[in-house]
Amino acid sequence: MSGLKGQEMAKKKEEKKVTTHVLLEMKRRGEKIAMITAYDYSIAKIIDHAGIDVILVGDSASNVMAGHETTLPITLDQMIYHASSVIRAVNRALVVVDLPFGSYQGNSKEALNSAIRIMKDSGAHAVKLEGGKEVKESVERILSAGIPVMGHLGLTPQSIYKFGTYTVRAKEKEEAERLIADARILEKAGCFAIVLEKIPATLATKVAKELDIPVIGIGAGGGVDGQVLVLHDMLGITTEFSPRFLRRYADLYKDIKGAVGNYISDVKSKDFPNAEEQY
Ligand code: KIV
Note the pLDDT of residue 9.
58
Task: Tell me the CA distances in angstroms from 22 to 19, 107, 214, one per residue in order.
Answer: 5, 31, 11
- For a mutational test of ligand 1's pocket, the pick from 35, 55, 59, i.e. the residue with the most ligand atoms closer than 8 A to its C-beta, is 59
By CB atoms closer than 10 A (0-12, 13-18, 19+), residue 131 is buried
- Candidates 103, 100, 121, 124; CA nearest to 112 is 103
DSSP symbol at 247: P
- For a mutational test of ligand 1's pocket, the pick from 36, 160, 197, i.e. the residue with the most ligand atoms closer than 8 A to its C-beta, is 197
Closest ligand 1 atom, CA of 59? 1
Does 233 contact ligand 1 (Cβ within 6 A)? no
The sign one gets for the Cα dihedral 251, 257, 258, 263 is: positive
Atom 4 (ligand 1) nearest CA:
58
Closest ligand 1 atom, CA of 130? 8
Domain interval for residue 49 = 17-231
Residues 6+ apart with CB under 8 A from 128: 56, 58, 96, 97, 98, 99, 149, 150, 151, 152, 195
Q: Which residue is catalytic, options 197, 240, 276, 277? A: 197
**What's the CATH code of the domain at 112?**
3.20.20.60
What is the model's pTM? 0.94
Query: Could you read off the pLDDT tens digit of each residue along the chain, which spans 279 residues?
Result: 556 566 655 555 557 999 999 999 999 999 999 999 999 999 999 999 999 999 999 999 999 999 999 999 999 999 999 999 999 999 999 999 999 999 999 899 999 999 999 999 999 999 999 999 999 999 999 999 999 999 999 999 999 999 999 999 999 999 999 999 999 999 999 999 999 999 999 999 999 999 999 999 999 999 999 999 999 999 999 998 899 999 999 999 999 999 999 999 999 999 999 999 999
- Compute, in angstroms, the gap from residue 5 CA to the centroid of ligand 1: 36
By CB atoms closer than 10 A (0-12, 13-18, 19+), residue 94 is buried
Instruction: Tell me if residue 31 falls in helix, strand or coil.
Output: coil
Specify if 251 maps to a domain: no
Specify if 270 maps to a domain: no
- Compute, in angstroms, the gap from residue 137 CA to the centroid of ligand 1: 22
Specify if 37 maps to a domain: yes
| The total number of structural domains that make up the chain | 1
Active site residue 210: no
Does 55 contact ligand 1 (Cβ within 6 A)? no
Specify if 247 maps to a domain: no
Specify if 33 maps to a domain: yes
Q: Which run of H or E residues covers position 197?
A: strand 193-197
Specify if 244 maps to a domain: no
Specify if 260 maps to a domain: no
- Compute, in angstroms, the gap from residue 274 CA to the centroid of ligand 1: 44
Specify if 9 maps to a domain: no
Note the pLDDT of residue 2.
54
Instruction: With beta carbons less than 8 A apart as the criterion, state whether 102 and 74 touch.
Output: no
> How many separate helices (H) and strands (E) can be counted in the chain?
12, 8
